[in-house]
């Protein structure tokens, strides 16, 4: 499948920018897949106004592959999305996480395409130690199966450092449609932007933030990059158009409201000080949810805990029994829930929870 084969409304949504939550995994107390609550989560994101869903990604737990859950989890999200599509009346971009070395990633792309996903977001964590040439060959092989979203995963949770030269060559792959920038690092964020501009791919490759430490600023900030043009330099201005975020798997309704406000401000080139101030407030919430104090060890469990408190999840269980909240993390979550209560969507969830769980 090539990006030109995507439905026009899906491509338009992806390129304009959208809120795309990274979908968590619902388990029961025996750490078995809880399909009822998994479906409820999907319904929550769709009703909250998400423009896409990312399934089988880091937030869904990479270990679903070893547990035989990859295809079932992708299938349930796609089925749930299709069930409500007519009533919802807007397109939803379905993105599947792809992982492993080349044979595995190609096979997963085949599964995702078969389940009706529009693009695959490719994690390169399993390619640690590979050269840039090897990485590009890997990406090209997967891009031959379906459109790709690049993924700069932060090294703290298994990602690898990727220079601007890699991103230039990656963006030049014809079937690349977007890149999720999530190194949690301003220098490495710039490497991606510079690479895309150097590849002259800024119109085809849409940038999404995954930088949970700078969500609001990423959505507001124009990036000005110099590029050789004839005998002189031209300035190319690029914007991050949307967000594909684990952070947006919680408080999604208010995330959609914030995103629309940020987009309107960016388009008007007029940003109010209180909107800028939200960057530090959202980052403060993320510090608790993602367990920055312990090197992100509790990042998945932290998001689960917020969803558990709202009633969407029964517990915070992860596939790995050793994975849970870090010492003091629950107290930090309580603190940010109190201090930033206006950023939560508790009332929205409470009003619809029974229907989502039905």
Query: Percent of the chain, pLDDT > 70?
Result: 100
Residues 6 or more apart from 358 whose CB is under 8 A from it?
none
Confidence of residue 278 (pLDDT cuts 50, 70, 90): very high
Q: In sequence order, what DSSP letters do the residues of 116-183 get, joined into one string?
A: T-SEEEE--GGGTT--HHHHHHHHHHHHTTS-EEEEEE-GGGT-----HHHHHHHHTSTTEEEEEEE-
pLDDT score at 291: 96
pLDDT score at 221: 93
pLDDT score at 5: 94
Question: What is the residue whose two structure tokens read 């849970």?
Answer: 324
Q: How many CB atoms lie within 10 A of CB 349?
A: 22
| Dihedral sign, Cα of residue 179, residue 212, residue 330, residue 40 | negative
pLDDT score at 150: 97
pLDDT above 80: residue 319? yes
Q: Are strands 93-98 and 119-122 parallel, antiparallel or unpaired?
A: parallel
Which of 77-86, 277-286, 313-322 has the least mean pLDDT? 77-86
Let me know: does 184 contact 153? Beta carbons within 8 Å: no
Distance of alpha carbon 149 from alpha carbon 123, whole angstroms: 9
pLDDT digits (tens, 9 = 90+) for 185-234: 999 999 999 999 999 999 999 999 999 999 999 999 999 999 987 778 89
Distance of alpha carbon 218 from alpha carbon 246, whole angstroms: 15
- Phi/psi at 103 (nearest 5 deg)? -60, -45
pLDDT digits (tens, 9 = 90+) for 90-116: 899 999 999 999 999 999 999 999 999
pLDDT above 80: residue 333? yes
* CATH number of the CATH domain containing 285: 3.20.20.70
14, two tokens? 């992806």
Give the HSE-up count for residue 66: Cα atoms under 13 Å, Cβ half-sphere: 5
Q: Which domain holds residue 349?
A: 3-357
pLDDT digits (tens, 9 = 90+) for 279-314: 999 999 999 999 999 999 999 999 999 999 999 999
Q: Are strands 19-21 and 206-209 parallel, antiparallel or unpaired?
A: unpaired
Number of structural domains found in the chain: 1
Let me know: does 111 contact 70? Beta carbons within 8 Å: yes
Query: Percent of the chain, pLDDT > 90?
Result: 92
Let me know: does 321 contact 301? Beta carbons within 8 Å: no
Q: How many CB atoms lie within 10 A of CB 296?
A: 17
Average pLDDT across the chain, whole number: 95
pLDDT score at 335: 98
66, two tokens? 């070893």
Taking Cα atoms as reference points, which of 25, 2, 6 lies closest to residue 77?
25
pLDDT digits (tens, 9 = 90+) for 12-45: 999 999 999 999 999 999 999 999 999 999 999 9
């Amino acid at each position: 499948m090539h990006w030109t084969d995507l439905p026009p409304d899906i491509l338009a949504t992806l390129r304009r920018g959208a809120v795309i939550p990274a979908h968590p995994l619902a388990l029961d107390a025996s750490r078995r897949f809880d399909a009822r609550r998994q479906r409820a989560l999907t319904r929550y994101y769709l009703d909250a106004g998400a423009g896409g869903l990312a399934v089988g990604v880091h937030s869904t737990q990479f270990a679903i592959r070893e547990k035989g859950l990859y295809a079932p989890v992708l299938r349930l999200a796609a089925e749930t999305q299709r069930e409500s599509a007519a009533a919802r009346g807007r397109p939803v971009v379905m993105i599947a996480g792809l992982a492993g070395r080349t044979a595995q990633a190609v096979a997963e792309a085949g599964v995702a395409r078969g389940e009706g996903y529009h693009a695959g977001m490719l994690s390169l964590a399993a390619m640690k130690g590979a050269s840039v040439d090897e990485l590009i060959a890997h990406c090209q092989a997967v891009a031959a199966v379906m459109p790709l979203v690049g993924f700069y995963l932060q090294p703290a949770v298994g990602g690898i450092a990727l220079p601007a030269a890699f991103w230039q060559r990656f963006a030049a792959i014809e079937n690349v449609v977007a890149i999720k920038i999530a190194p949690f690092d301003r220098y490495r964020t710039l490497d991606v932007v510079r690479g895309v501009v150097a590849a002259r791919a800024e119109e085809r490759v849409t940038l999404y933030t995954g930088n949970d430490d700078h969500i609001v600023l990423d959505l507001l900030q124009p990036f000005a990059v110099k590029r050789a043009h004839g005998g002189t330099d031209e300035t190319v201005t690029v914007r991050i158009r949307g967000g594909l975020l684990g952070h947006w798997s919680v408080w999604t309704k208010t995330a959609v409201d914030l995103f629309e406000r940020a987009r309107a401000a960016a388009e008007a080139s007029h940003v109010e000080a209180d909107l800028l101030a939200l960057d530090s407030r959202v980052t403060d919430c993320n510090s608790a949810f993602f367990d920055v104090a312990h090197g992100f060890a509790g990042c998945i469990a932290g998001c689960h805990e917020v969803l558990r408190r709202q009633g969407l999840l029964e517990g915070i269980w992860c596939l790995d029994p050793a994975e849970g909240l870090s010492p003091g993390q629950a107290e930090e979550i309580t603190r940010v829930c109190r201090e930033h209560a206006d950023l939560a969507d508790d009332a929205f969830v409470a009003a619809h929870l029974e229907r989502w769980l039905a």
